[in-house]
């Protein structure tokens, strides 16, 4: 099952192009935030702090999710969800570039502020979207169900197996709501149309990311993309945005793992895309 057939109808390339540019702005701002946090000074969260790991790692996970959506050949959910993820991440990074943060060496603070302002302009030029009005439930379900059969003892695999059930329940709920009928085994929410569109887009993002991870596990098990940590982090954030039921398994420290990957990529001059493309 390919990510390009998960969501229909496809979003035209002209709608996605401004989002790709805005995503690049966010990546540059994240790099500047790391450089800003590396210098200890008043008003700046240091790299070793829990809050810095939560912010920098969380933004990196959103960047990965956006890349997965935008790289799908038919990213119907991207034009709706990616702008929202970018705005939320920019708001988080704004803590490193606010007026309370003094300018540091290298001009990273000023560059970061400029990138976030440019990102806002890029998003303003992107067409407004109402969100996907339908999903291919069978294919979405197949992608999410693939997590149930995951093997391995790495931190996160047990959580992913448990999370699959939660996301499948959300998918069944949306299916029942969309057709205005209930299934005896499924709790069907009654949400406004806009909220329903957001839930569809979030589930599409979860399924696309799961497909990318499962493919990496099969093709290149030692690669970063095959590590369950990043997918666990993306699905944790997606589950929180969905307001889904809590996953019973205990999640590993994905913020620490994500931040460690951010620092490695900064040191090696690599982008924050799924493959760590050289700058």
pLDDT tens digits, one per residue of 200-256: 899 999 999 999 999 999 888 878 999 999 999 999 999 999 987 788 888 888 999
Three-state DSSP at 36 gives helix
Q: Where are the alpha helices (DSSP H) in 42-107?
A: 50-71, 78-93
Q: Where are the alpha helices (DSSP H) in the chain?
A: 13-37, 50-71, 78-93, 108-125, 137-145, 157-178, 193-219, 228-242, 254-268
Rounded-to-10 torsion of CA 207, 261, 157, 75? 0
Do 266 and 31 meet the contact criterion of CB atoms below 8 Å apart? yes
**Peptide bond preceding 198: is omega within 30 degrees of 0, i.e. cis?**
no
192: left (phi over 0), alpha (psi -120 to 50) or beta: beta
Q: How far is residue 186 from each of residues 168, 189, 243, 256, measured CA to CA in Å?
A: 10, 9, 16, 35
Spell 107-136 as b/e; 16+ CB within 10 A means b: ebbebbbbbbebbeebbeebeebebbeebb
pLDDT grade for 31, boundaries at 50, 70 and 90? very high
Do 42 and 133 meet the contact criterion of CB atoms below 8 Å apart? no
pLDDT grade for 75, boundaries at 50, 70 and 90? low
Q: Alpha-carbon distance 87 to 90, whole Å?
A: 5
Evaluate if residue 80 carries a pLDDT over 60: yes
- The DSSP-derived string for 164-180 is HHHHHHHHHHHHHHHTT
In the numeric block, which tokens belong to residue 169? 């329940």
Higher-pLDDT residue of 274, 189: 274
**pLDDT at residue 187, as a whole number:** 43
Q: How far is residue 50 from each of residues 25, 31, 204, 254, measured CA to CA in Å?
A: 25, 18, 30, 12
In the numeric block, which tokens belong to residue 58? 């969380």
Q: Residues of the chain with pLDDT > 90: what percent?
A: 47
- The separation between CA 144 and the C-alpha centre of its own chain, rounded to angstroms, equals 16
């Amino acid at each position: 099952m390919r990510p390009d057939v998960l969501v229909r109808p496809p979003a035209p390339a002209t709608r996605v192009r401004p989002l790709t540019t805005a995503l690049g702005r966010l990546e540059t701002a994240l790099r500047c935030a790391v450089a800003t946090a590396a210098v200890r000074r008043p008003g700046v969260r240091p790299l070793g702090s829990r809050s810095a790991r939560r912010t920098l790692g969380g933004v990196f996970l959103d960047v990965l999710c956006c890349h997965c959506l935008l790289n799908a050949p038919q990213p119907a959910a991207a034009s709706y969800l990616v702008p929202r993820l970018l705005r939320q991440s920019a708001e988080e990074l704004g803590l490193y570039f606010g007026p309370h943060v003094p300018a540091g060496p290298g001009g990273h603070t000023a560059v970061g502020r400029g990138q976030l302002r440019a990102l806002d302009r890029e998003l303003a030029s992107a067409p407004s979207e109402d969100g996907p009005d339908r999903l291919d439930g069978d294919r979405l379900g197949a992608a999410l169900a693939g997590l149930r059969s995951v093997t391995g003892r790495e931190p996160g695999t047990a959580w992913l197996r448990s999370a699959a059930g939660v996301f499948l329940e959300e998918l069944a709920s949306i299916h029942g709501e969309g057709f205005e009928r209930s299934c005896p085994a499924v709790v069907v929410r009654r949400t406004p149309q806009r909220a329903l569109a957001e839930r569809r887009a979030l589930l599409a993002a979860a399924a696309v990311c799961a497909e990318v991870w499962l493919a990496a596990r099969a093709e290149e098990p030692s690669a970063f993309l095959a590590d369950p940590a990043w997918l666990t982090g993306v699905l944790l954030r997606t589950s929180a945005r969905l307001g889904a039921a809590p996953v019973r398994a205990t999640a590993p420290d994905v913020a620490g793992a994500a931040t460690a990957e951010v620092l490695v990529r900064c040191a090696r001059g690599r982008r924050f895309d799924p493959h760590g493309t050289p700058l």
